[in-house]
Amino acid sequence: MGSDDIIEVLGGLSLFADLSRPELEEVAHTFEEEWFPGGQRILRQGFTGSGFYVIIDGEATVSTDGKEIAKLSRGDFFGEISLLLGENPTADVSSTGSLHCLVLAGPVLEDFLTAHPPVMYRMLQALARRLRASNKWRS
């Protein structure tokens, strides 16, 4: 995947949909690209120092104490909850097949989000959707 392709892919993800091309280019340079083979643990329950991940290709599972609770795929992101709360992840995230991600180091997520309010708003929307889904039984 070349430089242009990464920017194309980023522009197609809802999280980054409001960014201009130079902003996407900065994002492409700010995030690191990582590739994981199938069955690899990426976010580790209870470990310090984790990061924020955006899936650009492939699938992953979320599990707590070895029990699968969700599936993630292209455009989904993970790792943000523990970083926003300043706590260690409460779940494992593992690749199901080969998984291609963009990764932001945990310590810079806050600066990144405050420098890119449209991304923060999109993230808020995604978190609101998750909250609604998990609260459905109330309504």
**Residues contributing to the site for other proteins (CB under 8 A):** 1-4, 6-7, 20-23, 25-26, 28-30, 33-37, 40-41, 44, 46-51, 98, 100, 103-108, 115
Tokens describing residue 26: 């900065």
At closest approach, how far in Å is the CB of 136 from other proteins?
A: 32
Alpha-carbon span 74 to 100, nearest angstrom:
9
Q: Least distance (Å) from other proteins to the CB of residue 89?
A: 11
Please report how close the Cβ of residue 65 comes to other proteins at its closest, in angstroms.
8
Q: Which is nearer to other proteins, 38 or 130 (CB)?
A: 38
| Least Cβ distance, residue 133 to other proteins (angstroms) | 29
Comparing CB distances to other proteins, the nearer of 97 and 129 is 97
Name which of 8 and 131 has its Cβ closer to other proteins.
8
Please, which residue, 25 or 81, has the CB nearer to other proteins?
Answer: 25
